[in-house]
Amino acid sequence: MRQGGHRRTAIGLVLVATASSGCLSYHRTRIDEPLPDAALAELVDGRTTLGQCLQVLGAPTAVLEYRGDGMALVWSWQDEDQWGLEVSLPVSDQANVNFNLDLGAADRPGAVLWFGQDLVLERWRRGRLGELIPRRVRPASPEESGG
Amino acid sequence: MSTSRLALLGALFLFSFSSACALGRMEQNDPLDAAAIGALQPGKTTAREVVEALGAPTEVVQLGRRTAYRYDATTTKGAVLFLVVLNFANVDGRSDRLWVFFDENDVLSHYGASFGTHRTQYAMPWEDVHEDGDNAARDADRAGVGTAGGGK
C-alpha cells in the first residue's frame, strides 16, 4: 500500500514535469558600437573643436543643451548579456503559471563631450550615462511650482 | 503495433527533442543617403536645403541661438537557437545617424554622420559582431560610408 503511494506520487511528478516546460536561456543584446579608445585619446580639452570631434567620432547618439549656446554630445552603446530561467506550468487550458528570473542588468555605457559657447571641447568623460548626465526632470507646471 | 507505426512514433519522439532556430529583422526608416550627406557644405548649405535633400528630421534640438537636426535609421537583426531546455538569443542593432548643426541664421555650421545599418549581423551571443574585418567587408559594399563630419 505504502509502496503504491510512492509509485503514484512518482508518476504524478513525472506527469507534471512532462506537462510543464522550462528552459534556461542566454540572451545578448548589442546596440551600436563602442567608441574606439584611440579616437577618444585624440581629444584635447580646450583645443579640439566640435568639427574635429564630429570628423573623428561621427554622429552622436544625442545632443543636449549646455550653458546657453554650448552643447553636450552623448555617445552611447549597449552590450548586455543575461541568463534567464523560465518555467511555464499549465494549470488549465487557458492559463499558465510562469515566472522569469533575470540575473543581469546594467546601465548603458557611453561618453559625453561638453562644448562651450565657442564650440571648443571643454571636457569629456567616459562611463555609465547615469553618472555622466544629470537625470532630466520634467518641467513643473505653474500649479505644481506654486507660480 | 506495426513496425512502420513504431518508426513513425520514434521519428516524432526524436523530432520533439531536436533543435530549431529563428531569425528576425526589424528596420526603422530608410538607410541614410551617403551621397546626399557628402554634398553638405558647412558655411553654405541652409536648413531649408538640408530638409529638401533629406526630408523631415527625426528630432530638432534648440541649443541657445543654434539648432541641431537629427536624422537616423536603424536595422536590428535577431537570432535564436532553441535547444529545448537551453536557448541562446542574440540581438544586433546598428544605426545610420546624422546630426546637422545650424547657426542663428539657419546656415549649416557643422555636421557629423555615422553609418552602421549595413554592418548588422545575424549572430550567436558568443560571436564578436564588431570585428574590424567584418565591418570593412560590409563597408566595401556600401559606397561613401564610414564616419563623416566637419565644420566651417
What are the beta bridge partners of residue B81?
B21, B88
Per-residue burial over A119-134, b if 16 or more Cβ lie within 10 Å, else e, is: bbbeebeeeebeebbe
Which residues in chain A come in under a pLDDT of 50? 1, 97-106, 137, 139, 145-147
A43 within domain boundaries: yes
State pLDDT tens for residues B44-96.
999 999 999 999 999 999 999 999 999 999 999 999 998 878 899 999 999 99
Per-residue burial over A69-81, b if 16 or more Cβ lie within 10 Å, else e, is: bbbbbbbbbbbbb
Domain count of the fold of chain A: 1
State pLDDT tens for residues B42-57.
999 999 999 999 999 9
Q: What are the start-end ranges of the E strands in A77-141? A: 78-90, 96-102, 109-115, 121-128
Q: Which of B118, B98, B97, B116 is nearest to B108 (CA)?
A: B98
The alpha helices in A58-147, defined as continuous H runs, are 129-132, 142-145
A84 within domain boundaries: yes
**Mean pLDDT across chain B:** 90
Q: Is the pLDDT of residue B117 over 60?
A: yes
Measured CA to CA, the distance from residue B90 to residue A56 in angstroms comes to: 29
Strand, coil or helix: B76: strand
Q: Which residue has the cell 541568463?
A: A83
Taking contacts as CB-CB distances below 8 angstroms, the residues of chain B near A29 are 90-91, 93
- Chain B 2-41, residues with CB within 8 Å of chain A CB atoms: none
B10 or B123, which is more confident = B123
A64 within domain boundaries: yes
A30 within domain boundaries: yes
- Beta-carbon separation of B66 and A55 below 8 A: no
A5: closest CA of chain B, how far (Å): 29
Domain region containing A32: 21-134
Query: HSE (CB half, 13 Å, CA atoms) of B3?
Result: 0
- Does residue B130 belong to the interface with chain A, where contact is any CB pair within 8 Å? yes
A55 within domain boundaries: yes
